[in-house]
Chains A and B, each alone.
Chain A
Amino acid sequence: MQLTGGQMVCESLLREGVEVMFGLPGGAILPLYQTFPEYPQLKHILVRHEQGAGHAADGYARASGKVGVCIATSGPGATNLVTALATAMMDSVSIVAITGQVPRAAIGRDAFQETDSTGITLPITKHNYLVMHASELPRVFKEAFHIARTGRPGPVLIDIPRDVLTERAEFEYPDSVKLRGYKPTLEGHGQMIKRASRLIRESQRPLILAGHGVVISGAFGELHELAEKAQIPVITTLLGISSFREDHVLSLGMPGMHGMAFNNHAINQADLLVAVGMRFDDRVTGRLSAFAPHAKVIHVDIDPAEVGKNVRVEVPIVGDARHVLRALVREVEPATHAEWLKQIDQLRDEHPSHKVPESDKLLPQYIIHELSEVTGGEAVLVTGVGQHQMWTAQHYTFRRPNSWITSGGLGTMGFEVPAAMGAQIARPGETVWSIAGDGGFQMTMSELATIVENEVPVKFAIINNNFLGAVRQLQDLFFNGVRVAVGYTGNPDFVKLAEAYGIWAVRVTEKAHVRQAIKDAMAHPGPAIIDFRVEPEENVYPHIPAGESVAEMLEGPTAEERIWQR
């Protein structure tokens, strides 16, 4: 059948199972928007800024396991998507971004709202397309969705000139893709699986490092089985959080710069690391030469380029985490590692940095701990980057698979507002908490309007310390306390701000009111905001200085030192 380019886009989206799109129109993309009334099955969420559309699609994709879709116009519309695409690229999130482009004849002539969108997004997309003929649209969409969701997922951008959207051509959606340069490996190599299970059998002090790949592939059951069968403790990287329930006796929490001190020590003593779907990021390893000095490494990843990129690997296994773990579970022999587990327990006692410090002040750690208690560790938590993110990662006890959404690799402030909106839209019946910093919240709080318009019942906990806290912490610890450009003295009254949007809100300044405020926010049917006025000078500990090793780890003030600080 003959369709316009705009109709082809909609037909393609329907065939890919798209239900929700986040976007903001403009001249070049308008022919697509004008076809939306013909396709009421495609729900469009009108955002206030394209970055919000990108992050919302990201949160939606992570929460649903589907491909998130965002739409922007040419020029500034496309450039506003850049931060969101880079975020999704770093964290392997499947997004298809559709951007309008100036008409074909105007390309390269510096036309109004023209920008080289495919050029700009080249390094921050898994792949991108500039579609010069409407007849190419079905193939391009088929490929784009396939590339976005398979292998190591990532964002794909499709740039469509305005006159391609109005051009008519024959529409026939392909059944399959033909990409001779793209064939992700799913199954691990049999020989490597055997070698891995032999290493596991020989190991006295093994650890599993579970990353985002476990969550993306949905290998929750397989990870659980492997850990229990061979009695291997599980460390979850920042993005691996919620791949393994944290109330499990084998769960050791997060490693690295702000990870649990005891598990960083455990990594230092381990003789084997079974790394699954993680990439030995510098925030995990610190100085590479001092990282896990006694450990052999089994590295499972779907992206061959990650294997051997940062650390030396004894057994490389390229494949999907779920497939490989399933094969490993079959192959490994039951073990107990009682001595090792006892050793780790001792480390846990000696390095109690995972505990909420005793204090009468309103500490952020306490708020997260209370939130964890009230929600039973079963809410979906979304954060941006910074202190609030680390405290949430440390002090919330995640009990449900894929219940943690955060900007890890890129570390994007402001992610927490639109991403929480996207996550809530993907999982309408569930409790979604956005833990926000007062800095990040103000970067994207314009999406509160979108949240109100679409009745998205996200609960916001603003960890408000009137600082760019993570930066203030760096200045205090490593720049002799010289504070430059970190004080937020002009913050708005967030409760009044919420009122302006018609959102329920409350301010909490006392420790004693935390629990009730959380309960009230959750009892409220719509969106809610709690402005937690926390102790402004609180730091995140432990803290391994960037590029250093566990030996340089700062574990934070002791209970006595805290009393002196008052």
Chain B
Amino acid sequence: MAEVSEHTISALVEDLPGVLTRVTGMFRRRGFNISSLAVGHSEVPSLSRMTFVVQGDEGVVEQVTKQLYKLIDVVRVSDISQEHMVSRELALVKVKASQASRAEIIQLVDIFRANIIDVASDLMIIEVTGAEDKIDSLIELLRPFGLREMMRTGRVAMARGATATGGRPVSAAATAESAPDVEAVP
């Protein structure tokens, strides 16, 4: 059996109605497992960027990539886990914070370079950004205080350096009007 591991796949897609359904529908019907999915605008106004975290061996990831490419609205796909990448996730955590525990929570927030963005008499909302494992550990530390609500965005990732996510160098002229790197996609 080939080795199963976690892959971060980034896809540049047309910003059109239904594109998310097309992508997730394809994942579902082909039995691919997505553990995280994040979608948002890209540097080009008509394109969105999706980041998937997929579990599977090389064969599965190759099929995921190829099947994504088959969708007409998908412009570019790359497995950036092979490249040097930075990845981040954001979480909002609503935690119980009594008079007694508040100081301790603030200390944890400082250590994790998280932010307190709302305070009520017995609750706080904490915002934390980072790699998944960092967020996981903060959540574990906060859990004993009483987690009331939690919301995580899923991973967003980007290749380091001069390569655009997807392996092509970013052109200086990659503006909304010209976007030559995207037009030249194979």
Q: Which A residues form the contact surface with B (CB < 8 A)? A: 118-119, 122-123, 126-127, 130, 147, 179-183, 185, 303-305, 308-309
Contact = CB atoms under 8 A, between A and B. Distances in A.
A181 B72 contact: yes
Nearest to A181: B75
Which one of B67, B70, B71, B75 has the greatest number of beta carbons of chain A within 10 Å? B70
Given A305-B63, A305-B67, A308-B62, A123 B29 contact: yes
Contact of A305 (B13, B69, B74, B182): B69
Contact of A122 (B17, B25, B76, B183): B25
B186 A183 contact: yes
A305 B74 CA distance: 14
A276 to B, nearest CB: 19
A308 B14 CA distance: 27
Contact of A309 (B18, B63, B69, B72): B63
A126 B73 CA distance: 11
Contacts of A308: 59, 62
B66 A181 contact: no
B179 to A, nearest CB: 9
Contact of B72 (A127, A185, A303, A304): A127
Nearest to A182: B72
A182 B67 CA distance: 13
Given A180-B75, A181-B75, A304 B18 contact: no
Contacts, number: 45
Contacts of B182: 180
A180 B186 contact: no
A441 B167 CA distance: 54
A366 B62 CA distance: 47
A182 B76 CA distance: 10
Interface in B9-55: 13-14, 17-18, 21-22, 25-26, 29
Contact of B66 (A180, A183, A304): A304
A101 to B, nearest CB: 14
Contacts of B18: 118, 122, 130
A181 B29 contact: no
A304 B63 CA distance: 9
10 contacts: A122-B18, A122-B21, A126-B72, A130-B18, A180-B75, A180-B183, A181-B73, A185-B186, A305-B69, A309-B63
B185 interface: yes
Interface in B50-105: 59, 62-63, 66-67, 69-76
Top 6 A-B residue pairs of the complex, sorted by shortest distance between their CB atoms? A305-B66, A181-B75, A127-B72, A182-B72, A180-B75, A181-B74
Which one of A181, A183, A309 has the greatest number of beta carbons of chain B within 10 Å? A181
Given A181-B14, A305-B69, A308-B59, A119 B183 contact: no
A109 to B, nearest CB: 18
Nearest to B22: A122
A305 B68 CA distance: 9
Nearest to B73: A181
A179 B185 CA distance: 11
Nearest to A179: B72
Contacts of B76: 181
A303 B25 CA distance: 19
A179 B70 CA distance: 12
A119 B59 contact: no
B177 to A, nearest CB: 14
Contacts of B13: 181
Nearest to B68: A305
A49 B17 CA distance: 31
Contacts of B59: 308
Contact of A303 (B29, B70, B73, B75): B70
Nearest to A185: B186
A123 B13 CA distance: 18
Nearest to B28: A123
A343 to B, nearest CB: 33
B185 A180 contact: yes
Contacts of B25: 122-123
